[in-house]
Copies of this chain bind each other. A is one copy, B any other.
Amino acid sequence: MSKKKIFNDPVYGFISVPYGILFQLIEHPIFQRLRRIKQLSLTHYVYPGALHTRFHHALGALHLMRQAIRTLQEKGVDISDEEAEAVQIAILLHDVGHGPFSHTLEHTLINVTHEELSTWFMEQLNEEFEGALSMAISIFQNQYHKHFLHQLVSGQLDMDRMDYLTRDSFFTGVYEGVIGYDRIIKMLSVKDDELVVEEKGIYSIEKFLIARRLMYWQVYLHKTVLSAEQMLVRTLQRAKTLARAGEAVEASKSLHYFLHFDLEGEDLLKERHTLLQHFASLDDFDVVAALKAWQHSEDEILSYLATSLINRRLFKLVFQKEAPTALQLAALQKELQEKFAYIEDADKYFLIKGKETNRTYSTAKEEIKILLKNEEVQPLSKISDYEIQNRIVAKNFLCYPKKVT
């Protein structure tokens, strides 16, 4: 008689979590903090339903992991109870190192990847739980001898992607991004320590790849979303510049710490303990509260950006095939200097150029492997009669205040 905690989830109906270490981790403040970090940053400025959090995503990925394990075990794949728990812990905590606004601010606040920070948090929790997370960490870092367990956490068909594509399409209302996660999971198997998909699941995989591509261009790289996120990055950069220059910039204690943070490499690692403590209390709310305060900042650049963001007065963003020419940039700079004559350096902060890339599927990275009916394993690109796209699709963009042509 195993008691379980049940969470309601509009996406999967019910999510059951066994009481024990998994539930204790969920209850932990470090994990509860994920309730205050939106999965999709400012995407809700375009898709108002996209307010779901990293907390919910982590629970969802755990749910799918439990299904995947059951499927694999039923097919005779050897997964011990200890391994099953470890891989569940790994997926539950895989995003615990995300900070405010997830990917958007990932390298703006501090130059450490969220995977690295996740590892640090897991190690800290491992101490607290007296070693109970060791195998999970080993799986997460791909050091465990059963490689396929790592692939379930991080790979072409991991439970992270299965959940985020499903969840993001659900909450944005972009139903065309829906994938057949349940069918894909039912088709998973393991061959020679490698996660594979049974041949009859091949159309579901193609569908998965095309749905992912659609989500990229329609949601993740939507031009208005991109504009808002670029503005947010610029705002935080400005705040950091001011803070480090000794100007007063309103911020919560932890945000204050990161605005002034300037360590790199070895020095940063030495500071790790304190850094992690501050990071653990930092979330979307610190940043939004700061933005609201910065509307009244004396710094014109900071207040312009903050006010625009809070009231959703977003910059125009234009995609173009080629990188902008010097001529194009000069013209825009001139216009910005005229429009914002009263602000020094306006063009530096208000004219944003960049490049976004996406490819449906790459044969360069680890490929999706298909298990043929004759028990042979082949990479997807060899099997599918759908021409797997290898070409990188890149789009340059320019982003600046509206009414500046």
Interface residues of A in 36-77 (CB under 8 A from B): 36, 44, 46-49, 51-53, 55-56, 59, 74-76
Q: Is A338 an interface residue (CB 8 A)?
A: no
The reply to whether A1 and B174 contact each other, CB–CB distance below 8 Å, is no
Which B-chain residue is minimally distant from A57 (CB atoms)?
Answer: B48
Q: How large is the interface on A (under 10, 10 to 19, 20 to 34, 35 or more residues)?
A: 35 or more
Give the distance to chain B from A305, nearest Cβ to Cβ, in Å: 15
> Does A385 sit within 8 A of B, measured CB to CB?
yes
A4 contacts across to B, CB distance below 8 A:
74
B180, B218, B252: the one contacting A175 at CB < 8 Å is B180
> Which of B173, B183, B186, B289 sits near A252, CB closer than 8 Å?
B289
Q: Are A179 and B179 in contact (CB under 8 A)?
A: no
CB distance from A390 to the nearest CB of B (A): 9
Listed stretches A9-17, A234-242, A324-332; interface member: A9-17
- Knowing A52-B49, A171-B10, A218-B203, say if A1 contacts B76 (CB, 8 Å): yes
Is there a chain B Cβ closer than 8 Å to A403's Cβ? no
Q: Does A341 contact B (CB under 8 A)?
A: no
Q: Tell me, in angstroms, the Cα distance from A59 to B173 when the chains sit together.
A: 14
Interface residue from B59, B175, B292, B310 paired with A48 (Cβ < 8 Å): B59
Question: A264 → chain B, closest Cβ, in Å?
Answer: 28
- The answer, yes or no, to whether A178 is at the interface (CB within 8 Å) is yes
Residues 157-211 (chain A) with a chain B CB within 8 angstroms: 170-176, 178-180, 182-183, 186, 203-204, 206-207, 210-211
Contacting residues, chain B, for A29 (C-beta < 8 A): 310-311
What is the minimal beta-carbon distance from A15 to any residue of chain B, in angstroms? Answer: 9
* Interface check A386, CB cutoff 8 A: yes
Identify the closest chain B residue to A286 (Cβ). B289
A286 to B61 alpha-carbon distance, docked (Å): 31
Task: Check A263 for interface membership: any CB of B closer than 8 A.
Answer: no
How long is the Cα–Cα vector from A29 to B295 in the complex, in angstroms?
Answer: 13
A353 CB to closest chain B CB (Å) equals 20
- A44-B35, A292-B252, A386-B389 given; A8·B214 CB < 8 A: no
Tell me which residues from 295 to 342 in chain A have a Cβ below 8 Å from any Cβ of chain B.
Answer: 296, 310-312
- Evaluate contact between A8 and B285: CB separation under 8 angstroms: no
Known contacts A13-B173, A176-B180; decide if A214 and B218 are in contact (CB<8 Å).
no
Contacts of A56 in B (CB 8 A): 48-49
Cα separation A281 to B391 with both chains bound (whole Å): 48
A274 at the interface (CB under 8 A from B): no
- Cβ-defined contact, A293 with B35, below 8 A: no
Task: Indicate which residue in B74, B173, B176, B288 contacts A207 across the interface (CB closer than 8 Å).
Answer: B176
Q: Known: A48-B55, A178-B178, A385-B393. Is A172-B8 also a contact (CB below 8 A)? A: yes
A6 sits at the interface (CB 8 A)? yes
Q: Nearest chain B CB to A7's CB is how many angstroms away?
A: 6
A76 partner residues in chain B, CB cutoff 8 A: 1
Give the residues in chain B near A108, CB-CB below 8 Å: none
A217 interface contact, C-beta 8 A: yes
Partner of A49, one of B8, B218, B385, B389: B8
| CB of A80 closer than 8 Å to a CB of B | no
Within 8 A of B (CB), among A127-168: none
What would 15 more interface pairs be, CB under 8 Å, given A8-B173, A204-B214, A210-B210?
A: A1-B74, A6-B186, A8-B48, A8-B49, A10-B170, A48-B55, A51-B53, A175-B178, A207-B211, A213-B386, A285-B285, A285-B289, A360-B386, A386-B389, A387-B387
- Interchain Cβ contacts under 8 Å between A and B, 20 examples: A8-B48, A8-B49, A8-B173, A13-B173, A14-B182, A14-B186, A27-B312, A29-B311, A48-B53, A176-B178, A176-B179, A176-B203, A207-B210, A210-B386, A252-B289, A285-B292, A286-B289, A385-B391, A385-B393, A387-B387
